[in-house]
Structure 1
Amino acid sequence: MRLRSLPLLLAALMVSSACATPGARPAAAPGAPPARPFGTVQEQAQRQQAWLRERLEVALPRLMRQHGIELWVVPMREYNEDPVFKALVSATTYAARRRTIYVFHDRGELGVSRIALGGNAQGGLYELRRPTQQVAGGGRAVEPWGPDQWQMLKQLLEERQPRTIAINVSRVFAFADGLTHGEYEGMVEALGPTWASRFKPSGGLPVDLLAWRSEDEARFFAEENRLAWDIIQTAFSNEVITPGTTHVRDVEWWMVQRLTDLGLATWFHPSVSVQRQGAGDAQLGENPVIQRGDVLHCDFGITALRLNTDTQHMGYVLREGETEVPEGLKGALARSNRLQDIVVEELRPGRTGNEVLAASLARMRQEGIEGTVYSHPVGLHGHGAGAMVGLWDRQEGVPGNGDHRILPGMWYSIELQATSPVAEWGGQRVRSAQEEDVILGADGQVRWAWKRQTAFHVVR
């Protein structure tokens, strides 16, 4: 069985086994999202292919010129793919075939040529080059293998005569450091010192290519975030939680199961935690039973069509006799909402992540909010490529990763927390940690991918 066919087969088996009778669909639980929220796997792949075409035809030439890249070489071996691989291949390609070498050459008015030495043409988006093997009766094209591929690359360089050759090596960005040491040594040995002397780091090119998003990807991202909201709302309800009985781990596994039932995945295991009046972490333990009066928190992400969401929401379990969330807790959530407003207002294309962080924290302190900001790009990776806006334990800024500049059109997870004393809890401090995804439009305007939480999810 060919590797690329296996996920499609598994998806088909999942659907067929879920149907008790031909043509029947599995019954959805109350409040559940639709059984196929994003269409069939074939429809998803077709949509992804359109995104790939636009990324390669529109974004890549623009970014290569912006970063001063004449020719870019991206070699990788099967199961040891470069991080930028996700931005370069079709939905039906899951790994680099044997070795794949992608070459991108900016020919000025002739455009950027895209050449694959190994692998496949990705639905006709690459010029596929293969060596010819002489057999009885003539020659036949074969898959390149081993040292032959480096010789094919050398021939291509001699044909194109680039002044510089960009390679993915970086001590700052993981997304720009995908060239392995073994591949580098093999390439240098095969190409020789003349060509190797023309190597230069690709810099921010792979970072920005991964961060670049199309308008239709943004439309899909809104759908994906809406689904994340739906799952969290159900998780933080009496449909899933029975106060005094349900453990936090039960809720986490319910969220994973819901994704699995939908044929989707997550890029990290969800977390659910509680804050309780008069109790600290030591008293609560690692897997407490959810009780009335608890403040709930979750961190949850969805992976679909290779795109990732990242969401943190707050919930509250009503005490006996309560009909709504205490005012002190509402105020805590309002303060983290205000901090969201500040970060969103400061998040502008052209600024560095460290500039956004410094401006946001200055305004936060001026308004008397006690909090931290640790927002990040999101997209083809959950902790995505692009300018980092703080780390929870690096509020002075993040050298290197925080010095990159923000692009129009990219996405961010506005991740932060505000800590507030709550009068109803005797002044005990409550941490309101929120995370919501936003889209920076091509015009630089920021909008919530779906919406943001301004009221607690309530368990009655």
Structure 2
Amino acid sequence: MRLRTLLVAPLLVSSACATSPAAAPGEPLAVTATRAPAPERPFGTLRDQAQRQQAWLNERMEKALPQLMRQYGIDLWVVPMREYNEDPVFTALSAPTTFAARRRTIFVFHDLGPEKGVERLALGGGSQGGVFTPRRAQRQVDGGGVSRQAELWGPEQWQVLKQVLQERNPKVIGINVSRTFAFADGLTHGEYEGMAEALGPDWVKRFKPAEGLAVDLIAWRSPDEVRFFEDQTKLAWNIIERAFSNDVITPGVTHTRDVEWWMRQRLADLGLDTWFHPSVDVQRQGVTEEQLGEDPVIQRGDVLHCDFGVTALRLNTDTQHMGYVLREGEKDVPEGLKAALKASNRLQDIVFDELRPGRTGNEVLRASRERMKTEGIDGTVYSHPIGLHGHGAGPFVGLWDRQEGVPGNGDHKVIANQWFSIELQATSPVPEWNGQRVRSAQEEDITIDAEGKVHWGWQRQTAFHLVR
């Protein structure tokens, strides 16, 4: 390290000297430090973010977990996982300073009843900021026969789990296995075999899939997460608005992939990430999608569409907006295109109104499509939960190719304190384009509060972004 410092120091001095005023003859050279511009931090420092995330975790464990364990009839929930093969529920259970399971980590949740709450144990790994009580095993660690607390990650951990079960004697033990929900299927085959072998058949008989518990705990959002989500959604809008402007697009020069990479780079410059690569596509009068190709140059008169997400503090947004490139002499979007956007806005209104706690995703889909057809809208609904994952935990409200409903995933119920992306499209003939049909695809995030009322994450698009 010292050698590296000596090598780098002259370079720093040389750089500073290059920007300093020349010294008078016989005077020592003045070296002035150059300071980089302050970084943009839309959500504060990493430490600020971690403190906020830790508060969210504490609230999830104190409020959501006990309620859900009782709702789904789970006395004790065991979540074992190994490093780099984490259960999908891991991000809902771990501190912001924890990036992976520690060797083997076994989280145990034991419901002690409404008065005492849920006991939380970590057999391996840390306390996750005081959320869990670590439980270690006594092990002889030197030749003197001295037993000490040791962090075990091999077969011994299963014996510690067995001790925990014997002490608590739960009737129902929840495990994360599911053939329907990926979020509830985090118990790997190898971990199941090791646990079952160590515990024995009497305990295995008490195992019960914890499908609903895992899905709904991941889906549950706190009020402060909602407040943060509004700011996160505003940022997504801000980036899209600039991407679909003359700051980024020069008609006749800029390709769609140029815009995609600008959006991706903008996130990186802000110290943020995304859960999918942005997409930008165009519709053009008299030209088919195949004729446009994969990376067309954006031209005047094009209808633009983007799909864009922001990841911050483990939370995700998902937004699809429409844009238009004005032709020479045009001052506004043609009325036919405005009507197309209005049709997809109306379909948003319908899904917004039908999305309510207690309904399954398939019920929301069916009711929405019935109203859509009654109003003469030619559209498709393929909305989904969002939160700790982009395509989040909870019920599907259609898929683009499953408009009759989604068995299994669509049969789960919407809950309070859950978020969704209302994702859909409406296709309309445009008179100014000689009746050519234009697809207005929109996606906007919503939150559902504790009383079951639906709110836009921030707002929804009702006018095209304009490139002049």
TM bracket, shorter-chain basis: over 0.9
Q: How does 1:29-428 map to 2 (within 5 A)?
A: 35-108=40-113, 109-134=115-140, 135=142, 136=144, 138-428=146-436
Aligned-partner SS, 1:83: coil
Name the residue aligned to 1:6: none
Shift of the alpha carbon at 1:164?
Answer: 1.6
Structure of larger gyration radius: 2
Shift of the alpha carbon at 1:23?
Answer: 7.1
Contact 2:351 2:364 in 1 (8 A): yes
Aligned-partner Cα distance in 2 for 1:21–1:414? 48
Shift of the alpha carbon at 1:21?
Answer: 3.6
Aligned-partner Cα distance in 2 for 1:227–1:351? 31
Aligned-partner SS, 1:299: strand
Aligned-partner Cα distance in 1 for 2:66–2:258? 48
Shift of the alpha carbon at 1:137?
Answer: 8.4
Which amino acid is 1:385 matched to?
A: A
Which amino acid is 1:172 matched to?
A: T
Residue by residue over 1:183-229, the C-alpha shift from the partner in whole angstroms, topping out at 9 and shown as x without a partner, is: 00111111111111111111200000001000000000000000000
**Quick one: structure 1 residues 304 and 164, their matched pair in 2 at CA, closer, same or farther if it must change by over 3 Å?**
same
Residue by residue over 1:283-309, the C-alpha shift from the partner in whole angstroms, topping out at 9 and shown as x without a partner, is: 100000000000000000000000000
Shift of the alpha carbon at 1:145?
Answer: 1.8
Give the gaps of 5 or more residues in structure 2. 1-32
Shift of the alpha carbon at 1:132?
Answer: 2.5
Shift of the alpha carbon at 1:138?
Answer: 4.1
Contact 2:318 2:443 in 1 (8 A): yes
Aligned-partner Cα distance in 2 for 1:262–1:227? 10
TM-score, with normalisation over the residues of structure 2? 0.91
Aligned-partner SS, 1:447: strand
Residue by residue over 1:368-394, the C-alpha shift from the partner in whole angstroms, topping out at 9 and shown as x without a partner, is: 000000000000000000111000000
Aligned-partner Cα distance in 1 for 2:146–2:35? 51
Aligned-partner SS, 1:244: coil
Shift of the alpha carbon at 1:131?
Answer: 1.6
Aligned-partner SS, 1:297: strand
Which amino acid is 2:243 matched to?
A: A
Aligned-partner Cα distance in 2 for 1:296–1:140? 65
Aligned-partner Cα distance in 1 for 2:37–2:256? 34
Aligned-partner SS, 1:204: helix
Give the gaps of 5 or more residues in structure 1. 1-19, 27-34
Aligned-partner Cα distance in 2 for 1:345–1:196? 44
Aligned-partner Cα distance in 2 for 1:21–1:106? 58
Aligned-partner Cα distance in 2 for 1:330–1:22? 48
Aligned-partner Cα distance in 1 for 2:356–2:203? 40
Aligned-partner Cα distance in 2 for 1:199–1:269? 40
Shift of the alpha carbon at 1:40?
Answer: 0.2
Residue by residue over 1:351-407, the C-alpha shift from the partner in whole angstroms, topping out at 9 and shown as x without a partner, is: 111000000000000000000000000000000001110000000000111111111
Residue by residue over 1:60-103, the C-alpha shift from the partner in whole angstroms, topping out at 9 and shown as x without a partner, is: 00110011110000000001101000100000011001000000
RMSD across aligned C-alpha pairs, in angstroms?
1.1
Aligned-partner Cα distance in 2 for 1:176–1:84? 8
Q: Does 1:25 align with 2:38?
A: yes
**Quick one: structure 1 residues 23 and 291, their matched pair in 2 at CA, closer, same or farther if it must change by over 3 Å?**
closer
Aligned-partner Cα distance in 2 for 1:240–1:418? 27
Q: How many residues are paired up?
A: 433
Name the residue aligned to 2:28: none
Residue by residue over 1:115-154, the C-alpha shift from the partner in whole angstroms, topping out at 9 and shown as x without a partner, is: 0000100011101011223334844322112101111101
Aligned-partner SS, 2:260: helix
Aligned-partner Cα distance in 2 for 1:394–1:68? 32
Aligned-partner SS, 2:81: strand
Name the residue aligned to 1:29: none
Aligned-partner SS, 1:255: helix
**Quick one: structure 1 residues 215 and 288, their matched pair in 2 at CA, closer, same or farther if it must change by over 3 Å?**
same
Aligned-partner SS, 1:293: coil
Aligned-partner SS, 2:254: coil
Contact 2:73 2:172 in 1 (8 A): no
Contact 2:66 2:111 in 1 (8 A): yes
TM-score, with normalisation over the residues of structure 1? 0.93
Deviating above 4 A after TM superposition, structure 1's stretches of 4 or more consecutive aligned residues are: none
Aligned-partner Cα distance in 2 for 1:162–1:412? 35
